[in-house]
Chain A
Amino acid sequence: MKLMRDTWLIFQRQILLVIRNPVWVIIGIVQPLYFLFLFGPLLKPALGVSTNAEAYRIFIPGLLVMLAMFGSMFVGFGLIAELRAGVIERSRVTPVSRLSLMLGRSLRDVVTLFFQAALITLLAIPFGLTVQLGDLLLAFLLLGLIGLMLSALSNALALKLRSEDALAPLMNGVAQPLLLLSGILLPLALAPLWLQRVADWNPFAWGVDASRALFAGHPGDSSVWRALLILAVLTAVSLGWAARSFARSVR
């Protein structure tokens, strides 16, 4: 009860801050739009499909996964700024629940992500994207898990490193291979076998496959439940780790 109340308090404040300074939310939306407009037109010939709409139906579900990844991986920078401003310390001297300090922020990241993803989905409809509501909700569940996992990891790392200079290279170093090995830009079916085997170890590649299956109207595809299961487990582990590091360094 106290945990929920405290989480709600922290979430409200965090959302207020996002609304007052929405620049990062906007950048999060603009980035996939760039891909949609500047990279999308290359896809029809590259994928060997007959219409642009067909190419976009393959591309956009992956783009949403990219949005979930990149929108959440860098939230730790905000936490470092808050550590420096003294607002974390100010929270720590109150009896507020330590876990809520993390959950309120993660909840902010998931809500922001849903807003961005809904906007991109709507904007993609004129490009030929089609989806059933039920499948879309499952896809958003998938995105939400990815967002929650990466935001928890990013915040936990921020608490450990406490410096942008350490967090930035780490995040960039991890983000690039994860992106390239996820089949977001081009399906991994086009990749040589060894690359496909490496990508099998990338949970986000599973996420992209599942997202594509859902937008193609195949919620029963085995990639869907597999991805949901893998991501749910990883999310639970990340949340556990982040909660521990919050409880420890934010004693």
Chain B
Amino acid sequence: MMIETKGLRKSFRSRDGRAKKTVEAVRGVDLSVREGEIFGFLGPNGAGKTTTLRMLATLIEPDGGEATVAGADLRRAPGEVRRRIGYVAQGGSTWDEVSAREELVLHARMYGISKADAQSRAARALDAFQLTEFADRKCKTYSGGQRRRVDIALGIIHDPRVVFLDEPTTGLDPQSRAHMWDEIRRLRGEGMTVFITTHYLEEADALCDRVAIIDYGEIVATGTPDDLKREISGDVVTIGVNGATAKAAELLDAEAYVNKLETLESEGVRLFVDDGATAIPQILRTLDGAGIALGAIELHRPSLDDVFLEKTGRSLRES
């Protein structure tokens, strides 16, 4: 295992007006990340993703629990962990007035790498991330996507065994995002283990070999995206019912073939059924019999959002 945690905990004291209160950001997280995989850490904002990540990257000290990262004990040998990992924060990490090349050389040297080696590593990284063209321009002139690539190049300049990426595609346009996915897959291709946080379900689904879903500081599910989706047996049917959501929900919930039902904010219901093809005619009959006008009807395989809904009782998109 490249990363293994057991009961990792962290709480923060915060001040709410005059009253001090303790917020348990992470309440006992167990994770196992295998070597050479892209591991997605999925959850809504404030669920404890970044706190967990920052603990694993030695930036904050856990209150409890244990973790081994790239073979080094997180609590007893944080210095050793630092040498073996790369970390890319969410909010950027460059000075405005210096160039990508200067940043890469300095960052490599902070790992104790010699000047000559740092320079050749910087040149290789600039090339690999297609930054050579503006390598000597100041970072403040870069676009969002270019800055993000510089951040990631910085995170892996010392060839770490694991790289942590905190929401690497947040704020990027679709094209830059697709580009970033390719970069991340390339890192895996080079044998690196990639640990990313995201709140984009499509991203977790398309990019990650395995995911863990965290909610309120606890892991609610772990597995490959396909396994998780398969856990929800059957199909998902989404029906639009204009103005009659409550009535439709009541009627359908009483039907034996409906395993689980959720009402949607957008005037409709989502049904979990064993077999969509046989369920749809029955649904239509039920609603028609009650005089409820149908909007769109959609049958799909469960998505990670459905997994999240199943595990937490609410939709990730709405939270």
- Residues of A at the B interface (CB closer than 8 Å) are 2, 6, 9, 13, 16-17, 20-21, 82, 85-87, 89-96, 251
Contact = CB atoms under 8 A, between A and B. Distances in A.
B91 interface: yes
B107 A94 contact: yes
Given A9-B106, A9-B110, A89-B59, A21 B97 contact: yes
A2 B112 CA distance: 8
A251 B82 CA distance: 12
Contacts of B109: 9
A90 B82 contact: no
The DSSP consensus for interface residues of chain B is: loop
A85 B93 contact: yes
A96 B110 contact: yes
B111 interface: yes
A96 B106 CA distance: 11
A50 B111 CA distance: 62
The DSSP consensus for interface residues of chain A is: helix
B96 to A, nearest CB: 7
Interface residues of B, number: 29
Contacts, number: 64
B1 interface: no
Contact of B97 (A9, A17, A91): A17
Contact of B94 (A21, A85, A95): A85
Contacts of A20: 97-98
A93 B82 contact: yes
B291 to A, nearest CB: 59
Nearest to B80: A95
Contacts of A93: 57-59, 82, 85-87
A95 B85 CA distance: 10
Interface string B74-108: 00001100110111010111111110001000110
